[in-house]
Structure 1
Amino acid sequence: MNPRLFAAGMLLATSMASTAEARTICTLIADQAGEGTVLQEGDCDSRVTPASTFKVALSLIGYDSGYLKDEHEPTLAFRKGYVDWGGDNWKQPTDAVRWMKYSVVWFSQQMTKALGETTLRDYATKFGYGNADFSGDPGKNNGLERAWIASSLKISPREQVAFLKKLVNRQLPVSAHATDMTLKVVEERRISGGWTVHGKTGAAFPRRADGSFDETRGWGWFVGWAEKGDRTFVFARLIQDDRKEPGTPGVRARDAFLGELPSLLAGR
């Protein structure tokens, strides 16, 4: 057994044991320049909702289609009737940077409604983005409002990594401008070990049989890429809660993963 992979696996096991409120479904890390994976832990092939990690793909679609121009154009005003569960940060004029930073759902919805289901499906199919299904909840005709939020659009951690790897390698079928701007607006953080991490969280709740949301079993995503010098690694972390906890599963997935990442990439 590779001792580095064994150590990484032990670190993940310790993390899982110390966070009883959630289990790690998958941790997947791949080298931008390589063909294989650096680390794989758990079920990385089952598809679930992408939740707000879909904003990375939607940014590419928005810039390539011309709906988005740059970091600040368009800037859209909040209007009564827009979803506002994100609090005051969602009630401010929002551009692409604020959209990503505060994960503003209504900004996504204005974009998806302008683009339409056919355009979204065609781009997602070209990207290899999960099942590319924007039909929404059965019989609800709400795909442009919530297909990516615990609804019809689903993606696996492995597909997330494959998509992001194409993004950072500039291999997706979009303009150079769309790629440049998306790489620019995705949030970045500097962490120990000299790594700069670019990533997007996502959180959503599965549905019960009666259609209500099970807030005790929320999914939490953190996907993106980490850079140091001339090395870049693409990653996906997916967790699922076992009980209702303060905060969002996506933020908890991000914070736990960022704490582990320097050790996971040590010596690389």
Structure 2
Amino acid sequence: MLKNLLLLALFFALPAMAEDQTLAALLARQQVQGSMVIASLKSGQTFVHDDVRAGQRFSAASTFKILNTLIALQEGVVAGKDSPFKWDGQVRSVANWNQDQTLESAFQRSCVWCYQQLAAKVGAQKYREYLHDIGFGQLQEPFNTTTFWLDGSLQVSAREQVAFLGQLYQRRLPFSPAAYDTLQAIMLVEKTADYALYAKTGLAADSTAKIGWYVGYVVTSDDVWLFATNLDIHTDSQLPLRLSLTRAALQAKGVLP
């Protein structure tokens, strides 16, 4: 735990990063406000748009499914990517939630009711312990065990997301190899001969706008690039910008072809 906290402290002690004009131009072109952090795990080279906002915390939303999956696996609440979730017949707003799920489909479809089932089994005290030990964001007390990552009780910044992802990739967090392997399998978005992309979206309600997240990492032949993007989302038509702007930024920096 101490090692993890020291690494996080070092990351946040870094001086303010100069504005990356390439990233700024990408967001300006789409007339969207947000922040973006892209960092090399190998060299520490970091590109940032809006460094102040990069340190500002927002609701973790479904990006917490990354850590939540590891916790559920470690605690034995689920066994692997094929662990089943039986649909209760209640029709919800997202069509592909309205059926039986597996852990893999629940993660990839961001199925809220599935992860609420997991959360109820994990319990509040275990979440307190894991979040404290890992140093992921800030958890406000009291909190609702089945909604805290959605209702703003758990908040995290783009910088914190990147620091966490670095620890995740290096497997320096208190989870078993099997838990890491399962998460890696379900978090994979795209794999080619040149790179593998692992990521998760999120969408959080805020007082003035929804906050759209896209966080993850890209494994290339000679490096691992960590990234976290958050955007103000005013209309549903802006939701795809989470992915498209992040991909454009990674391409602009030579991470993706």
Query: TM-score normalised to the size of structure 1?
Result: 0.81
1:204/1:219 contact within 8 Å kept: yes
> Counterpart of 2:79?
69
Match of 1:235 in 2: 227
Distance 1:267 1:101 in 2: 22
Residues in 2 aligned to 1:252 and 1:263: alpha-carbon distance in whole angstroms: 16
Give 3-state SS (helix, strand or coil) of 2:146's partner.
helix
Aligned amino acid, residue 235 of structure 2: E
Q: CA deviation at 1:47?
A: 0.8
CA distance in 2 between partners of 1:248 and 1:147 (Å): 25
Give unpaired runs (5+ residues) of structure 1.
Answer: 137-142, 208-213
Give the C-alpha shift of residue 248 in structure 1. Answer: 6.3
Q: Cα distance, 1:182 vs. partner?
A: 1.1
Is the 8 Å Cα contact of residues 188 and 196 (structure 2) preserved in structure 1?
no
The amino acid of 2:60's aligned partner reads: P
2: distance between equivalents of 1:154 and 1:97? 25
Give the distance between the partners of 1:62 and 1:189, measured in 2 at CA.
Answer: 24
Report the Cα offset of residue 48 of structure 1. 0.7
Question: Equivalent residues in 2 for 1:1-268 (5 A)?
Answer: 9-20=20-31, 22-24=32-34, 26-34=35-43, 36-42=44-50, 43-73=53-83, 75-81=84-90, 84-86=92-94, 88-133=95-140, 135-136=142-143, 143-190=144-191, 194-207=194-207, 217-241=209-233, 244-247=234-237, 249=239, 251-265=240-254
Distance 1:266 1:77 in 2: 40
Code of the residue aligned with 1:178 in structure 2: it is A
Taking the aligned partners of 2:246 and 2:93, their CA distance within structure 1 comes to 25
- AA in 2 matched with 1:203: L
Quote the offset at 1:40 in angstroms: 1.8
User: Residues 266 and 54 from structure 1, CA distance in 2 versus in 1: closer, same or farther, beyond 3 angstroms?
Assistant: closer
User: Relative to 1, partners in 2 of residues 1:101 and 1:266: Cα closer, same or farther, differing over 3 Å?
Assistant: closer
CA contact (8 A) 1:222 1:238 kept: yes
Classify the secondary structure of the residue corresponding to 2:236: coil
Secondary structure of the residue aligned to 2:33 is strand
Take 2:131 and 2:74, find their aligned partners in 1: how far apart are those partners?
A: 13
One-letter code of the match for 2:129?
D
Tell me, in whole angstroms, the C-alpha distance in 2 between the residues paired with 1:194 and 1:177.
Answer: 26
Q: Deviation of residue 266 (structure 1)?
A: 5.3
% identical aligned pairs: 24
| 8 Å Cα contact 1:130/1:159 also seen in 2 | yes
Displacement of 1:80 in angstroms is: 3.9
How far, CA to CA, are the matches of 1:58 and 1:134 in structure 2? 18
